[in-house]
Amino acid sequence: MLTGPGGSGYTHGGMPLRLFALALLVLTACERGAPHHFERGNNARFERRYEEAMGEYRRALEALDREGDTASAAVLRARVLRNVADVYWFEQGKSREAVTMYRQLIERCPEAPETLEARVILAGILHEKLHDARGAIDVLEAAIQRNPPQIAELTYKKASLYFSLGDYAQAEVEASRLAERFSTSAWVDDALFLRGQSLAMIESRRPEALRAFEELPERAPESPLVPHAIFERGRLLAESGQREPAIEVWVEALALHPNPQMVQDAIARTREQLRKADAEGPVTAKPAPLRRARSSMEALRAPSVVTP
């Protein structure tokens, strides 16, 4: 064993070398704290080593818990929690684990930039994977209360969820609120169309549905939903027994509709009903089938928004 003067162990600044080495290791470990583990986790995630990434994220969270509630710790904690939730959902498809982590992020870091989008993702998982539309509505409402930049879009999503639940009256309320409060939003046409759909499902309010479908081309003439709104007007007229006005409306839709064959079929079917009515007496119109709410983006992608 090497010794210093007088037989004592070597020292550094008066500290025995063994103690100095231990202190150096502790200092190095502290320097490789939460940021170090977060970076290692991100690298592992990029390389698709997800279990290793999750281990590094867990160590980062443990280090942050030891650090306490400092401002820097709060910022990094939100990022780590968001990454953990995203790995569970996007990379591993573990919906329940993802829900748990998104909820933890929302609870611990409610105002973090990462949290707003997390609320939207959580609402989508609850509705589409766990079939919990009510839970999704609650999550969206909490996000809307914070008045985010995309509040119009979130309001539309909430209104669509009410429609999917069969709560047409509340769907109409939410859609109307969106159209009035955010009159210049890109979501106005979606809101007006959804309002018309919701009113059409309430027998006593079908005249209001007609007006909602008429209002859409007036307020958003360039919307891809315009031909579908015109078609819906014709459907409502036909179902109320006004077949000739319905045909006139559908003829107007022919030049605009992305699926003119569907419109032609509706016209032909209604003309046949008129012919039979003249020969045999009145024919009872079929009741309107349940229609799912659609957005203008879906209208652009799909050949038609509704089926005859």
**DSSP-derived secondary structure letter, 41:** H
What's the confidence (pLDDT) of residue 277?
83
Contacts 24+ apart (CB under 8 A), 129-132: 129/95, 130/95, 130/96, 130/99
**Close Cβ partners of 240 (under 8 Å, ≥ 6 residues apart):** 206, 285
The C-alpha angle 149, 152, 158, rounded to 5 degrees, equals 120
HEC sequence for 245-300 = HHHHHHHHHHCCCCCHHHHHHHHHHHHHHHHHHHHHCCCCCCCCCCCCCCCHHHHH
What's the confidence (pLDDT) of residue 43?
97
Distance CA 110, CA 148 (A): 13
What's the confidence (pLDDT) of residue 23?
45
In degrees rounded to 5, what are phi and psi of residue 189?
Answer: -65, -40
Of the candidates 85, 106, 109, 108, the residue with the CA atom closest to the CA atom of residue 97: 85
Beta strands in the chain (DSSP E): 11-12, 15-16
H and E: helices and strands count for the chain: 15, 2
What's the confidence (pLDDT) of residue 9?
52
The helix-helix angle for 50-67 and 34-46 (nearest 10°) equals: 160
Distance CA 94, CA 149 (A): 29
What's the confidence (pLDDT) of residue 284?
55
What pLDDT tens digit does each residue of the chain (308 aa) get?
444 555 545 454 555 555 544 444 444 444 569 999 999 999 999 999 999 999 999 999 999 999 888 999 999 999 999 999 999 999 999 999 999 999 999 999 999 999 999 999 999 999 999 999 999 999 999 999 999 999 999 999 999 999 999 999 999 999 999 999 999 999 999 999 999 999 999 999 999 999 999 999 999 999 999 999 999 999 999 999 999 999 999 999 998 999 999 999 999 999 999 998 888 765 555 544 444 445 444 544 443 333 33
The answer to whether the CB of 59 falls within 8 A of the CB of 37 is yes
> What domains are defined for the chain?
37-132 (1.25.40), 183-308 (1.25.40)
Give the SS3 label for residue 61. Answer: helix
The answer to whether the CB of 91 falls within 8 A of the CB of 50 is yes
